[in-house]
Structure 1
Amino acid sequence: MEYISDRITIDEKICNGKPTIRGSRITVQTLLEFLSAGDSPDDILKQYPSLELEDIQASLKFAASLLGRNYSIKPVA
């Protein structure tokens, strides 16, 4: 298991290696999708009682750090 932060982990045996919250089966992607759909952090915490507000904040920070990288688009034949 690789720790991206104290709250974000990646383990190839959990959720096909997607970043998850503290080794659980709750992915960062899931939290971001809830937020983008308009759910509030409180809504998410009610649906997932094992989560903490810091987990949601860590997910946002993780996503922001990924977008801070440089990307190039290459055509694929």
Structure 2
Amino acid sequence: MEYISERITIDEKICNGKPTIRGSRITVQTLLEFLSAGDTIEDILKQYPSIELEDIQASLKFAATLLGKSYSIKPVA
């Protein structure tokens, strides 16, 4: 298991290695998809009582950090 932050972990045995909240089966992707669909933080916290506001904030920070990196597109044969 790898700790990305104190709230986000990656374990190849959980959710196919996707980043999850504190080793749970709630993925960062799931939280971001709810937010992008228009759900409020309060809605998400009601749907997932095991997570906290700081988990959602950590997910947003994680996504922002990933997008802050440089990427290049290379053709694949």
Alpha-carbon distance, 1:75 to partner: 1.6
AA paired with 1:16? Answer: N
Alignment match, 1:49: 49
Alignment match, 2:59: 59
TM-score by length of 2: 0.98
Identity rate of aligned residues, in percent? 90
Cα deviation, 1:11-68, whole Å, max 9, x if unaligned, reads 0000000000000000000000000000000000000000100000000000000001
Give the gaps of 5 or more residues in structure 1: none
Report the number of matched residues: 77
Show structure 1 runs of 4+ deviating over 2 A. none
Alpha-carbon distance, 1:76 to partner: 2.0
Alignment match, 1:32: 32
Residues 9-24 of structure 1 correspond to what in structure 2 (within 5 A)?
Answer: 9-24=9-24
Give the gaps of 5 or more residues in structure 2: none
AA paired with 1:41? Answer: I
